[in-house]
Chains A and B, each alone.
Chain A
């Protein structure tokens, strides 16, 4: 371990350190003015982590005995994760103060979850990935049930924990199977483990798949891979592992849901992308493809159909997140193709960033429109919103149009990217099913738009809210439009520079 290692893993280290410091200063300070400074301190740590990650842009660097690899994709995702954490803490202030929830612990949990997600996105070794997932998930369980006084929140936390712990075990078992099968196959074929790599390292797995004949169809390895992918898909909230998502979305407070939904997707999809690029072109890839197609199409259909008749906005977003997870998986599918990886990675990255912005913004609106800290969850509370608060209605409308993929919002470009990478890897009928799903989803989002704009208000009380959630929502909506019209000006150049799309291979990492 040297300074280079620490620099490479700087972002999660800073987040974890920041989380601990915020927790300790909160304990030490009794005065409330000091406590307010806690948010600022925590946000500063997030910025530090983002800057630290940015200094690594444009390089490929491994660290900690090849357990960690940082390249453009990781830099982009870590910056996104840092931003999500910072925005979440800013947007949660009302929630925390109205219900007298402990603030220091909250900030620490958000930052630790984010640190775990950052570890996950940069891990090259599956064991590291597991550690990252656990750090992230344990914080998530607590956050989902953070409003202990409310039964729904408690239920969300408990459900999420039970399912999550179960899935973690599956993930671990999958990793063990991969470890065993790679090790046995390498020993049997007399192949050397690359210097400084372990059997659970993605590079070793890649070597085994591409160099040992018939290893790609080794049943133990296949089983392990499928368990691994399944567990990661659960973390990303993709069908058929989506059952808990709507409950968590409905039960947990809105700012927390925004955080959980985005951070878990960013983390899980990044590591899946990394894993898939290894499988590309191998026999395992073909086998995995079937599983992935199934999961993606099921998500798109179940998610959009589930959203279609919801009367709870947060539940609607729960199902919508399942559907959008499905689209992202479709994008990942193209990364299993040997020559469509670069396009697929760009498309998925753009999708994940855009989805995160839209989701954070949407839940900020849900919190913004709420009264006395309660979320505006019921569809009825949105009735006639345009007549009461036109700004909020337009903001939310922009998010809904973006989620349905209408042009001039970022949602259209992300959809375009996914379909382009999908059709270029030859999945015509998949694209058709996805289109059908989109049409159902369109109806779901339109229902909300129609409630907001096309009806007269039943309740006439003005909407009051603190400035922070409003600021988050409006700036996210602005970003959705700006990125939808001029993505190259807003964000795309930073991707183009940083997403190197380097397939991690043994030669380059050594």
Chain B
């Protein structure tokens, strides 16, 4: 079924249009229905349609603006299948669990649905201009969601987020245009062959490597391109934050694996030590900043920088198992961080505060919620038998041979994450309740079932990661390994 990806993208878009046209009250049911159907379609379609084969499947080529070289070229390999699944799954959670704003509900659901759909277009695109368009257009719904429904500092957060990421992507655009002018194509698979056979000027390849790295590093918030993240994450409404941190930030890592390394030639390979170092710095920096936060949402936001640091290292280090671990860890991070942000939201709703200092006693009055939260926390600190352990372990193992120093530094981040996460949990969940009349956190049926599902996924992947790892290992690099100089 070659139109599968069109269906996966069209369903949420259709739902978004319906949301815009119908009454405010019907926005949420339509959004849930649209994203849930898209999620089911992607689960059935992708698991039955060659996800475990190597190479691209569900390939589709249809003209959009052929004169410009812009085509609806889609194709999925293991890596992009997993990321598409993640995005559709997070969309469902985003519209189901996260609370909607009281006014302009339609705009809220509209932006979440469109953001998810555009992110999937980017993950599935085999036309580099189409990728770029989706990559950048997906910023608009996020901008709207942060600006209209975000926290106290929303306007500044929205503008900062938008300007930072667009500057990065403008650089990428210039490189893409340069490559198109030399090769006459935006088609990814053709470009890969042309670049690897030396058909593009070395200077242009170099520019592509630099520009795309900056664009993707900004998206993934790798230090020193992370400046937008803190304010943006803290002020983003939870529903959109699931997509932003869980799926869209992964576009950065995905871009590194898919575009920067294969199309950046040998120069990109020579950037690897630098990128790995930046990844290690991100791990430590993220952990240090997270430890210093007093807002639990900010702790999780900055912990993202730390986790993404690992994923970046695994993505570029050139070791197959590390890369598979990195792809798996993208999935894990989406699930775990999403779950943690949802918990944050519950705490803020019921306790009226996200400040560590004014929380406490949750363990006593909300036992179910607290135990679930603990599982998510264990996953975040990568305890064995959780999904986080598998991913981080594979990354560190694969990276250690080539980059022992950076890997050692990054490994200390694992200790750091245990410190700041558990310390935060200890202060905010245990102990005596603070405040006048703390309300117990009560989960509704759908909320409870989704948090259970997330916890099950975390433990499931932690115990039996191999099926997913097999899929994650199909990320377009093994096939061409002979052509690429392995980093020694």
Q: CB within 8 A of B166: which of A432, A442, A455? A: A442
Closest approach, in angstroms, between the C-beta of B186 and any C-beta of chain A? 11
Q: How far is the CB of A156 from the nearest CB of chain B, in Å?
A: 31
Cβ–Cβ < 8 Å partners of B100 in chain A: none
- A residues 480-495 touching B (CB-CB < 8 Å): 487-488, 492
Q: Is A401 an interface residue (CB 8 A)?
A: yes
Q: Is the CB of B137 within 8 A of A435?
A: no
Instruction: Return chain A residues, CB-CB under 8 Å to B134.
Output: 407
A454 and B155 in contact (CB under 8 A), knowing A419-B173, A442-B163?
yes
* Complex Cα–Cα for A455 and B136 (A): 24
Q: Residues of B contacting A432 with CB < 8 Å?
A: 174
A423 within 8 A of B: yes
A residues in contact with B67, CB < 8 Å: 488, 492
Q: Is the CB of A424 within 8 A of B181?
A: yes
Of the candidates A412, A419, A439, A454, which one forms a contact with B163 in the assembled complex, judged by CB atoms under 8 Å apart? A439
**Most chain B beta-carbon contacts within 10 A, residue among A435, A438, A454:** A454
Bitwise, B130-141 to A at CB < 8 A (1) or not (0) is 001110110110
- Cross-chain contact A420 with B136 (CB below 8 angstroms): no
A407 touches B137 (CB 8 A): yes
A406 touches B140 (CB 8 A): yes
6 further contact pairs, Cβ within 8 A, besides A408-B137, A420-B177, A431-B174 = A387-B104, A406-B136, A419-B174, A420-B180, A449-B143, A454-B150
Q: Are B181 and A435 in contact (CB-based, < 8 A)?
A: no
Report chain A residues within 8 Å CB of B177.
Answer: 416, 419-420, 423
Annotate A106-123 by CB proximity to B: 1 below 8 A, 0 otherwise: 000000000000000000
Cβ–Cβ contact A423 & B181, under 8 A: yes
Interfacial residues of chain B within 148-172, with CB under 8 A of chain A in the complex: 148, 150, 154-155, 158-159, 162-163, 166-167, 170-171
Establish whether residues B132 and A450, one from each chain, have CB atoms under 8 Å apart when the complex forms. Answer: no
Inside 8 A of B155's CB, which chain A residues have their CB?
A: 450, 454-455
- Chain A residues contacting B174 (CB-CB under 8 Å) are 419, 423, 431-432, 435
User: 8 A-B pairs, CB-CB below 8 angstroms?
Assistant: A386-B104, A408-B140, A419-B174, A423-B181, A442-B162, A442-B163, A454-B148, A454-B150
Quick check: is B1 within 8 A (CB to CB) of the other chain? no
A96 at the interface (CB under 8 A from B): no
Given that A450-B159, A453-B148, A455-B155 are contacting pairs, would A439 and B178 also be in contact in the complex, using a CB cutoff of 8 Å? no
In the assembled complex, the Cα of A97 lies from the Cα of B271 at a distance in Å of 66
List B27-81 residues whose CB lies under 8 Å from chain A.
65, 67-68
Q: Interface of chain A, helix or strand or loop or mixed?
A: helix
Give the nearest-CB partner of B156 in chain A.
A450
With a CB–CB cut-off of 8 A, which chain B residues contact A455? 155
**A173: Cβ under 8 A from any B Cβ:** no
Instruction: Report the bound CA distance from A454 to B170 in whole Å.
Output: 25
Against A, the Cβ 8 Å flags (1 = close, 0 = not) of B115-149 are 00000000000000000111011011001100110
CB of A127 closer than 8 Å to a CB of B: no
For the complex, give the distance between the alpha carbons of A177 and B68 in Å.
42
Known contacts A407-B133, A420-B180, A454-B148; A443 and B159 CB within 8 A of each other? yes
A51 at the interface (CB under 8 A from B): no
* Cβ proximity bits A473-510 to B, threshold 8 Å, 1 near / 0 not: 00000000000000110001000000000000000000
- Asked, given contacts A419-B174, A423-B178, A454-B148, whether A412 binds B159 with beta carbons under 8 Å apart, the answer is no
